[in-house]
């Protein structure tokens, strides 16, 4: 487990870009945090490093937004998922177990559906611009990503 304190938006953006540069098709980043914690801002930074030129927005009402970059980027916001069956209805398996990169906001709501290997990030808002990021991983590949991110 690694903890990172971001003192401003620029540091948060840089952290997201550094993480994005380390990701490859098949990787999954799961994020949790209260409303306004910065999950979408962080996702934008990760996607930018992955070559996504479009404006990355929260897919709250769509559940998922798809973007083209160096690989496919699937940005989920599962806040509005009330029943896990809704994930089956949207064909989550094709995304979670496919060859794109998944960014999942509110991942704790679909924890039982997540691949065994992923990066887990808890984001806490400390003040208007400061955030605490607590990273944990499962799987050797994601452990290596985390190690490189903080080396």
pLDDT digits (tens, 9 = 90+) for 33-77: 998 899 999 999 999 999 999 988 887 778 999 999 999 999 999
Domain that holds residue 41: 2-149
Which runs of E-coded beta strand occur in the chain? Answer: 2-6, 28-32, 64-68, 72-77, 101-105, 118-125, 131-138
Residue 91: its pLDDT value, please? 94
Residue 115: its pLDDT value, please? 95
Which pLDDT tens digit goes with each residue over 12-36? Answer: 999 999 999 999 999 999 999 998 8
- Confidence class for position 142, pLDDT limits 50, 70, 90: very high
* Position 10 pLDDT exceeds 90: yes
Residue 3: its pLDDT value, please? 96
Question: How much is the pTM?
Answer: 0.94
Total tally of structural domains belonging to the chain: 1
Q: Output the domain CATH number for residue 32.
A: 3.40.50.300
* Position 102 pLDDT exceeds 80: yes
Dihedral sign (CA 9, 1, 34, 47): positive
Sheet holding 2-6, edge to edge: 2-6, 131-138, 118-125, 28-32, 101-105, 72-77, 64-68
Spatial separation of the C-alpha atoms in residues 50 and 44, rounded to whole Å: 10
Residue 58: its pLDDT value, please? 82
Residue 130: its pLDDT value, please? 95
């Amino acid at each position: 487990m690694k903890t990172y304190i971001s003192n401003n938006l620029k540091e948060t953006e840089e952290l997201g870009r550094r993480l994005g540069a380390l990701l490859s098709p098949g990787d999954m980043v799961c994020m949790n945090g209260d409303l306004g914690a910065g999950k979408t801002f962080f996702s934008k930074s990760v996607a930018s490093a992955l070559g996504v030129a479009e404006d990355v927005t929260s897919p709250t009402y769509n559940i998922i937004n798809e973007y083209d970059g160096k690989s496919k980027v699937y940005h989920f916001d599962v806040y509005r998922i009330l029943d896990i069956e809704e994930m089956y209805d949207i064909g989550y398996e094709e995304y979670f177990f496919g060859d794109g990169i998944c960014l999942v906001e509110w991942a704790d709501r679909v924890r039982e559906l997540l691949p065994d290997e992923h990066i887990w990030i808890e984001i806490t808002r400390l003040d208007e611009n400061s955030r605490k990021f607590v990273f944990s991983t499962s799987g050797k590949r994601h452990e290596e990503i985390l190690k490189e991110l903080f080396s």
